[in-house]
Amino acid sequence: MSLDEIIKAADRLDATDLDSLLQQVVYLRARRKTPVLPEDEAQLLLRINQGIPADLLAQYQLLLQKRDAETLTDSEHDLLIQFSTQIEQIGAQRLEALAHLAQLRQVSLLDLMENLGIQPVRYV
């Protein structure tokens, strides 16, 4: 199967299956970059690269737009808080996995993030 065929097939996937495919591809890439990647590191890399589910992110962004337009209902406000909590938990789990991987590799967290191409979040 050619790369174009793979991309076209991926384009037909729903958001959940596309996220799953992405996780598996990231895992394959990590396995190839490191000749023998220990299982615990591979699992940590999967957690680090998991990201926010596309459907959650889309609903969250819609609610943010409604909040900014001041058209958010009380129930939507509650949902926005719930989504914010979920997104924060995903971020915390990712940071925990990054810290654990840095510890396993005996490097600083910032060095690990640089090696993985992860930019620190900057609040300006």
CB 15 within 8 A of CB 54: yes
With 0-12 / 13-18 / 19 or more C-beta atoms within 10 angstroms meaning exposed / middle / buried, residue 22 is middle
Residue linked to tokens 């737009």: 65
CB 47 within 8 A of CB 98: no
CB 15 within 8 A of CB 23: no
pLDDT (tens place) for every residue of the chain, 124 residues total = 899 999 999 999 998 888 888 888 888 887 777 667 788 998 999 999 888 899 999 999 999 999 999 999 999 999 999 999 999 999 999 999 999 999 999 999 999 999 988 887 664 4
CB 53 within 8 A of CB 15: yes
